[in-house]
Amino acid sequence: MEMAVVGLGHVGSVMAAALATQGHGVLGVDVDSQKIELLSQGRAPLHEPDFEALLQDALSSGNLRLAIPGEVKGLGGIVFMAVSTPPSPDGGIDLSQVQSALHWVRSIARTGATIAMKSTVPPGTGRSLMAGPLKGSGLLYAANPEFLREGKAVEDWLQPHRVVIGGDEPAAIEALRQLYARVDAPIIVTDTTTAEMIKYSANAFLATKISFINQIASLCDRLGADVETVARGLGTDPRIGSQFLSAGLGYGGSCFPKDVRALDFLSKENGYAFELIRAVVDVNNRQRQLPLAALRKEFESLSGVRVALLGLAFKPNTDDVREAPALDIIEYLLEEGAEVRAADPVAVDHARQFVPDSVTMARSAMEVLEDAQAVILVTEWPQFKELPWDRVARIMVEPRFVFDGRNALDGRLLRSLGFLYRGVGRGLTSERATDAAVLRSLG
Ligand code: UDX
């Protein structure tokens, strides 16, 4: 089936390559000629595990063509829209890229082609696009939201948990039904607004799980309970499920923060107070202040204190720093006069544009830990979890404070090595082993 993907970011580039390897003729279109050049050479313009291999398979299959809009003569079949829908300052969604991409598609798509909206757009958007820019265009429209996680986009595309198709005319649904016919997952067919609402509700619910466990964690800290064990006790109930119950510094990224705020904005626009969502946002914002509160308990003042941050990306397996907790934590520490250094295996280049030059950044944790008095684990990269913490104890200096922002470290081991360990909801106060031999060995 002929198809095109307009917008080659995390979602668009993965799906264009995947569809091509599945035997479809795919035209990938993006306004960024450098991105088109990189992709044409089989190189990934973004950090997504397994994507480069998929792209090279797609190119060698001969099914994937890549072009900037000016090189495209016509479009037919299914035209997937996967352009960015960034947040607006007021909390709504900026649909300008969708509008301009649709304007271009309308100018060259053949009558009867189906526009399939992959970009996350507020519920009701499909209806307004059909009544506006697409009216009288002879083009069909369907909502077809994606549920890809950054860092797992290839896996999530190849093994979706469900396919959602939203169309207000049967013809608009048919083309997508055929495309996904052989996918081994439930196919949910509904109207456009309901399909759009499924996407927002999914992200809002996952964010709610995270803020819920983070509030339980705060209570655990006060009561001396361990949130990791509480989460295991919750997750073993199939009605609750074990995922998205990891307490810590909360969610970041280009999706949860934007989608949750947009749902709150949409509710207000429609005269409804979605209190739960507001609480989810407020709790999440407070989580990234936890390291500072813990540091204030250990240090009279943070002025001149050398603090190392482990992790800049908003989560492991990505170089994306959008809404990453690390960026706010660095800002809070600098405001208190701390001397900050940060390490991340892949996100340093992306973070540089948001972090003041006074902050030394490196890919290696050991480099930033040298002489540090405190360390904050912000992103649970495997490299950081597997650090030789006995060696870290020797290169850090008193009081060797560790704030484990993702409960990814072994608190008891670290305390036995003489660190002052604090997790999130671990019920462990930041005591350390009183073993004099250990303390002597640290000098
Ligand atoms: C999310 C949705 O999972 C995906 O379906 C949607 O298409 C896009 O948004 P993504 O933003 O890539 O994907 O990240 P995800 O893996 O969902 O994690 C989101 C954030 O939640 C990260 O900052 C992560 O650190 C945090 N998180 C996740 C927690 O704090 N606790 C958890 O238990 C899980």
CA pair distance 388, 168, nearest whole angstrom: 58
Nearest residue (by CA) to ligand 1, atom 21, is 251
What integer pLDDT is reported at residue 427 of this predicted model? 76
Is the CB of residue 374 less than 8 Å from the CB of residue 404?
A: no
Residue 399 preceded by cis peptide, ω within 30: yes
Q: How far is the CA of 192 from the centre of ligand 1 (A)?
A: 25
**Cα separation values, 262 from 186, 201, 256, 378, Å:** 27, 11, 10, 26
Catalytic residue chosen out of the listed positions 255, 281, 292, 408: 255
Which of 121-135, 248-262, 420-434 is least confident?
420-434
CA angle 121, 122, 127 (to 5 degrees): 85
Q: Point out the ligand 1 atom lying closest to the alpha carbon of residue 315.
A: 25
Whether 255 is a known active-site residue: answer yes
Q: Which residues on neighbouring strands pair with residue 375, listed in sequence order?
A: 308, 402
Among residues 403, 434, 196, the alpha carbon closest in space to that of 297 is found at: 403
CA pair distance 356, 340, nearest whole angstrom: 10
Nearest residue (by CA) to ligand 1, atom 13, is 149
Nearest residue (by CA) to ligand 1, atom 14, is 149
Nearest residue (by CA) to ligand 1, atom 31, is 246
Q: Point out the ligand 1 atom lying closest to the alpha carbon of residue 406.
A: 30
CA pair distance 36, 67, nearest whole angstrom: 6
CA pair distance 272, 314, nearest whole angstrom: 31
What integer pLDDT is reported at residue 91 of this predicted model? 87
CA pair distance 227, 216, nearest whole angstrom: 7
Q: How far is the CA of 257 from the centre of ligand 1 (A)?
A: 10
Q: Is 310's pLDDT higher than 60?
A: yes
Residue to mutate, 255, 287, 424, ligand 1, most ligand atoms under 8 Å from C-beta: 255
Average pLDDT over residues 184-193: 98
CA pair distance 384, 393, nearest whole angstrom: 14
Nearest residue (by CA) to ligand 1, atom 6, is 147
Residue to mutate, 232, 251, 424, ligand 1, most ligand atoms under 8 Å from C-beta: 251
> Which residues are CB-neighbours of 243 under 8 A, at least 6 positions away?
235
Among residues 285, 275, 227, 256, the alpha carbon closest in space to that of 120 is found at: 256
What integer pLDDT is reported at residue 442 of this predicted model? 59
Nearest residue (by CA) to ligand 1, atom 33, is 244
Q: Computed from CA positions of residues 79, 109, 98, 63, in that sequence, does the dihedral angle turn out positive or negative?
A: positive
Q: What is the pLDDT of residues 46-79, one digit of tens each?
A: 899 999 999 999 999 999 999 999 999 999 999 9
Q: How far is the CA of 256 from the centre of ligand 1 (A)?
A: 7
Tokens of 434: 């009183």
Q: Point out the ligand 1 atom lying closest to the alpha carbon of residue 153.
A: 12
CA pair distance 184, 210, nearest whole angstrom: 29
Q: Is 429's pLDDT higher than 70?
A: no
CA angle 23, 27, 29 (to 5 degrees): 145
Nearest residue (by CA) to ligand 1, atom 27, is 251
Among residues 225, 198, 174, 203, the alpha carbon closest in space to that of 1 is found at: 174
Q: Computed from CA positions of residues 324, 327, 330, 336, in that sequence, does the dihedral angle turn out positive or negative?
A: negative
Q: How far is the CA of 258 from the centre of ligand 1 (A)?
A: 12
Q: How far is the CA of 203 from the centre of ligand 1 (A)?
A: 8
Q: How far is the CA of 251 from the centre of ligand 1 (A)?
A: 6
Q: Is 108's pLDDT higher than 60?
A: yes
Residue 51 corresponds to which amino acid?
F
Q: Using a cut of 0.85, tell me whether the model's pTM lies above it.
A: yes
User: What is the full DSSP assignment across 204-219?
Assistant: HHHHHHHHHHHHHHHH
What integer pLDDT is reported at residue 441 of this predicted model? 62
Q: How far is the CA of 155 from the centre of ligand 1 (A)?
A: 15
Q: What is the pLDDT of residues 244-261, one digit of tens each?
A: 999 999 999 999 999 999
**Cα separation values, 176 from 78, 268, 437, 442, Å:** 8, 33, 68, 64
Tokens of 320: 């994306």
Among residues 345, 385, 349, the alpha carbon closest in space to that of 364 is found at: 345
What integer pLDDT is reported at residue 433 of this predicted model? 45
List pocket residues of ligand 1, CB cut-off 6 Å.
146-150, 203, 206, 210, 244-246, 248, 250-253, 255-256, 314-315
**Strand (E) positions, 263-373?**
306-310, 339-343, 360-362
Q: Point out the ligand 1 atom lying closest to the alpha carbon of residue 243.
A: 33
Q: What is the pLDDT of residues 278-304, one digit of tens each?
A: 999 999 999 999 999 999 999 999 999
Q: How far is the CA of 288 from the centre of ligand 1 (A)?
A: 16
Nearest residue (by CA) to ligand 1, atom 10, is 149
> Which residues are CB-neighbours of 9 under 8 A, at least 6 positions away?
46, 82, 83, 84
What integer pLDDT is reported at residue 432 of this predicted model? 47
Residue 183 corresponds to which amino acid?
V
Give the three-state DSSP class for 413. Answer: helix
Q: Please provide the average confidence, as pLDDT, over all residues in the chain.
A: 95
Q: What is the pLDDT of residues 194-225, one digit of tens each?
A: 999 999 999 999 999 999 999 999 999 999 99
